[in-house]
Amino acid sequence: MQTRHLITATLIVIAGLAWAGTASAGSLKQRLENQHYRIHHGIASGELTYKEARHLRRQHRKIRRMRHHFLADGRLSHRERRILNRRLDRNSERIYALKHNRRYDYDRAWYGYYH
């Protein structure tokens, strides 16, 4: 009887750990999508200049590639997750700072946005 309880408890713990690993990978993907939207919105509203947008997109692309590289083995280790979260935090701060630095690009025709 105790063996059955031990096996059940072990399976529950394993399932919980597997679910937690996928949830964090999903939340990283959601953060990437949110930052992509914030950059796109900054371009559309004119809050980001051409150079600022180019810099942010380059950083965003590096983070996406790093995530893809880390997920090549099918999972994210704690170290890899921590690295990605720090990069995303830093990039989020950059997006905020550049969108609020009072430099505006009112001529958005360079990106296909017209008045």
pLDDT in tens, 52-99: 999 999 999 999 999 999 999 999 999 999 999 999 999 999 999 999
In one-letter notation, the amino acid at residue 39 is: I
Q: Render pLDDT for 5-52 as a digit per residue (tens, 0 to 9).
A: 667 766 676 766 555 544 455 799 999 999 999 999 998 888 898 899
Q: What is the reported pLDDT for 7?
A: 73
Place of tokens 């059955």: 4
Residue 115 CA to residue 108 CA, distance in Å, equals 8
What pLDDT shows up at residue 115?
44
CB within 8 Å of 10: residues ≥ 6 apart: none
Give the residue with greater pLDDT, 12 vs 112. 12
Question: Cα separation of 45 and 40, whole Å?
Answer: 9
